[in-house]
Structure formats: structure tokens, C-alpha cells
Amino acid sequence: MKTALATVTLSGTLREKFEAASKAGFQGVEIFENDLTQFDGTPRDVRLMAEDLGLDIIALQPFRDMEGMPEPMRSQKGVMLERKMEVAHELGTSRLLFCSNVQPYSSADLDVCANDLHVWADMAKREGIMLGYEALAWGYHIADYTDAWELVKRVDHPNLGIILDTFHMFSRGNTLDVLRDDIPLSKIALVQVADAPSLQMDVLQYSRHFRCFPGQGDMPVVEFLQVLKDKGFNDYLSHEIFNDEFRSSSPLNKAIDGMRSLIWLDDQTVSKKEDRIEPVCAPKISEVEFIEFAIEGESGKALTNTLAQLGFHETHQHRSKEVSLMRQGNINLILNREPKSQAHSYFKNHGVSVCAMAFASEDVKATLLLAERYRVEQFNNQTGPSELNIPALKGIGDSLVYLVNSDAAVRFFEVDFKPIQGIQGEDGVGLTRFDHIGQTVSNTDFLSASFFYKSLFGFDIDASQDLPDIHGLVVSRTALSKDKRVRIPLNMTNAPSASAQRFMHKSKGSGVHQIAFACDDIFAAARNIDREKQLPIPQNYYRDLEARFGLAPELMAKLQSHNIMYDRNEEGEFFHFYTEEVHGVFFEVVQRVGDYSRYGEANAFVRLAAQARQEVKQDT
């Protein structure tokens, strides 16, 4: 498989796009004509720039409304095509890409359209150029790839092939039957792969704003590539992505995301040529081993006071560093005050905050190899004699993700830490484990953050949820390990004053904004929290709760007295309460009854409003 992307996918100048594609490891680029038109240089300059960066220019595109046009437009199309073939020669490419006609005055007569394309293909043959024909999902007469294929077959010219674009195919609900059974490899001019979330909207707006890289959406792109591989396909896979966030992001970061998605897509399929009989699977992640806070001196006092009310105490001290450990149940919270550490650098940039977390992996070595394959940056720690060297990866924002072996004979703290004398056990208030960890990311990183967990750790990605904030809408989607033991909700917003954006402003970037702990008795846990440390929930919420669920008066009184929220569905029940925000982070305690697997989303709008009120109170 060879890799390419259309220049429209990335932001920046044409040089910046080329440099990003080259650094990310792409082999080729499609030149989007707008990028060439606005370039301050000749097509030959573009060709030399691509050669210097090790890139092939695989196509020039798009050429619109080429078939079925009335005179004199048809004749002008021929003149235009002659000029563009001259440009193609200067660029050093031998492919031009056509889109199906979108004009209402174009001919619906397939014979007329086929005759036009045959004339253009004859011109291309004389120039040694291959033409590709693509069905736009909003084409006026031809919108499905099956109809585009019928037209290409009717033309029956060696210099005309079909372009297969997954977005246009799947946004129309097309099946893969015609590709599987009818289209030969020799007639595929180019393959463009794009994904998109499942949305019901105008297809043109859908195309222009919501495409994303394979694996970041909901389209059956894996099945598509498997059909191609079964036919023996081994040519270019190219990205053509129209996305507002992509076009306002770092071109290099998005190019790396794009390369990661193509490698992942390839890994999800089997290939007889590569002798791979099974897809590449990420090693299982079984648990969150620890969360690490970056603090300095007395700066974390408010944090440790809140954690103390949640039953945490500093139970262990690192043997050689200014690092301590709080434990309760199977929850490990690291407080890193070490001056010469990644945590200290994180603290200087973001203040008191979560700088890292650790996953327990069934195969750390395999995860690291997969990270290298997917272009995920690794981080090397400084360790002292006889200390564990826990490998780490660059995670979301500036944070790290550490990896420990889930079947290790000893836990990390049994090697690097020593117990603090005088601590009476680690039972706390009955908190048992991490339930979920919420991260806020920028709107430009929302897709790449979820794909980071999907590609590298094999997490499933939930459909997006809209959370109404009093200052705008927060969009959330959750990355879940296969057994749902690890849950990472990811939040973003486009609203400048919504909670997610306020967190980004306070923490100076993406990061963990929420840590939820599981327990078996939420009322016992809540009794230990001073009422002023709890997030106050308005009385109107409990009146609404009683009306919706008809809960017993005794239970309603207990819920309200501890600011505990409630939800119920066919799977079970959910109890949860929140602490006040500390340095931008808040804690949640949850109790799941039965098989309840959600997060109390019905309560989110009340919680977000309560947090906004509390922020105003704290600021005054």
C-alpha cells in the first residue's frame, strides 16, 4: 500500500503542506487546484519542491462538470483540458481527476456523457495521461459510484477509470457489491479514503465540514479496504478530507494523524500478499494504574485537602524523589513535587494539574512497538539505581501515558516507594477504583484524541453526546476499553465561555478535568465530605427527580442532604456526587447498581450550571 493525501486536507501554504506530508511519511500528494492557483511560482517549481521532499505528485484535481455540457460550454471544457494537461506535464503527474456534473442544465443522456468522456480520454491518451471519474454524492444525474461505473464501462477507454471515494460512496448508503463483483483493478484510477460521523444532514454540507480520517468516524472503511485487498489492490490510498478543524490546525499534526489512520486502516485488514491472516490488535488495557499530579511546594494544599476528605492519605514516599503516593482501594494518586522532572515542567506551564496517567497493559512491549508504528512519540524518564523505568508515551496535550504490565509480580509502588509510618490502612471511605477520567481537548484535537485511544489501545469510541452548558454546547464522546473497565470521556466546545473552554483557559491547554471514583456505598462516602466541599445541587433538581422516577421520600431526603444525583435506565441505577473544583479539576464519586454503564448524562446540564455558579462565587 502506498500513501498520499490531497493538499486540501491540510492548512497552510503549499510548501507547508508538502513539508508536513513529507515529515509524516507520505509518499505522494494530490494537488488541489486552488492550492496551485494561489501558489507564487510555476508548476515546475512545485514539481521540484515535491522532488526535494521525496513526494510524488500523483494527481491534479478537481475538474468539474466535464460531461454533458451544452455548447459553447462543452468546447470551452476541451480548451481548458488542453491547458490543464500542459500543467500536469509541468507538475510531473499523469493523472487528472473529474467530478460528476452538478449542473441542472447538464444532459442526462448517458450516450452524450459517454461521448464527451471518450473525447476527453482520447485527448488524454495522446498526452500519456490517465483520467479518473468520480461520482459526487450531490451529482445532478450521477451521484452513486455504481452509476459512475456504468458510465466508465460505457466509455470503455483505456485512459479513463473510476475514482473510488469512500465518503461519496457511504454517505449515499452504497454497498460494496459492485466493487466486489464488477470493477476490475485495472479500471480503478485512484482510491480516496475518508470517514465521517453518522449525521443526518444535507450531503454537501456534510461533505464540506464533517469528513475525517479513517477510524475517526462511523463509515465502514475497513470493509472497503478489505474488499480492495481481496482483489489484489496495492496502489495509493489517498486522503481527501474537508474539515473545518483540520484547516485550522497544525499541518504537521494533522498529517501525522492522517498517516496514523492509514497505517491503522491497513492493520485492520488481512492480506495474502503480506501473509497476514489476522488484523493487528492492540494489547488489552485492563486498568488505570495511577494518576499523577504535578504540584510544587504548598501549591497543592487545596488539592490534598479535598482528597483527604475523600479518604485519601499520603501512604508512601518515593525512595529518592520528592514524590508521594496516596492510596485507597485500588486507586493510586501520585503527587510529584520533584524539581527535575517532566511533572515540574508541566507544572510551570499548567499549574497544579494532572500531568500523567498509567495504563496496565497485557503486553507493554507490543504496545510500544505499536506506538512506534503509529508515529506516537515516546518519552524517556530519568531513573535512579534499582528504580523502575516505566515507559511513557506522549498523550493528550502535554500529558504522558505510562505503561505497566498488568501481570507484573509486584506493583510499581512496591519497588519505588516505601510506606510512610503511622498510616492506618488504606480503606479510606470505601472508594474502590477509577470509574472514569474526563479530559478536555480543543476542538481541533477532538477527533485525534479519540483516535489516539482507539488506534493505540484498541478502545471503542462512543457516539458523541451533546451536553447543554449555560454558556454554550459541550460535545462529549467516550473512549472505552473492550471490557469497559477503563473509560475516558473527551469533551470539547466551540463556545468561548462554556465549561470546556473555561478549563482550557485556566489550565492553558488540554488536560484532565474530571476524576470519578467508584464505590459500593455512596452515602457512606458522602458523609465524610464537608458540605462546603460538595458541589451544591439546586432544590428544583430534586423536585424534578421525584416527579420523573417516583423515588421513595426517604431516599429523596438522603439524596438531597448529600447533593447526590441519580439516574436509572433498563440496565440499572446510578448514584453520583461532585466535589468543588480545585485547580480546574473536580472529583466525582459514583455508585453503579446492576449493569448501568452510562454516566448520568441526563444530569449533566444541572451539574454544568452548578459548576458555573460556583466558579463565579470563587472568583468573587
Domains of the chain: 2-267 (3.20.20.150), 285-419 (3.10.180.10), 431-619 (3.10.180.10)
H helical segments located in 458-562: 499-507, 522-526, 539-549, 553-561
276-328 pLDDT, tens per residue? 778 888 999 999 999 999 999 888 899 999 999 999 999 999 998 999 999 99
521 is in an annotated binding site: no
CA angle 313-318-323, nearest 5°? 70
3-state secondary structure of 267: helix
| CA-closest candidate to residue 351, choices 421, 391, 299, 398 | 299
What torsion do the CA atoms of 389, 390, 392, 397 make, to the nearest 10 degrees? Answer: -110
Q: What pLDDT, on the 0 to 100 scale, is given for residue 408?
A: 87
Q: Are the C-beta atoms of 195 and 219 separated by less than 8 Å? A: yes
| CA-closest candidate to residue 512, choices 581, 431, 613, 429 | 581
pTM of the model: 0.92
Q: What pLDDT, on the 0 to 100 scale, is given for residue 425?
A: 55
What are the residue ranges in the chain where pLDDT is below 70? 273-275, 382-386, 423-427, 620
165 is in an annotated binding site: yes
88-145 pLDDT, tens per residue? 999 999 999 999 999 999 999 999 999 999 999 999 999 999 999 999 999 999 999 9
Q: What pLDDT, on the 0 to 100 scale, is given for residue 587?
A: 97
| CA-closest candidate to residue 465, choices 449, 476, 450 | 476
Residue 400 and residue 391: Cα distance in Å, rounded? 10
240 is in an annotated binding site: yes
Phi/psi of residue 604, nearest 5 degrees: -60, -40
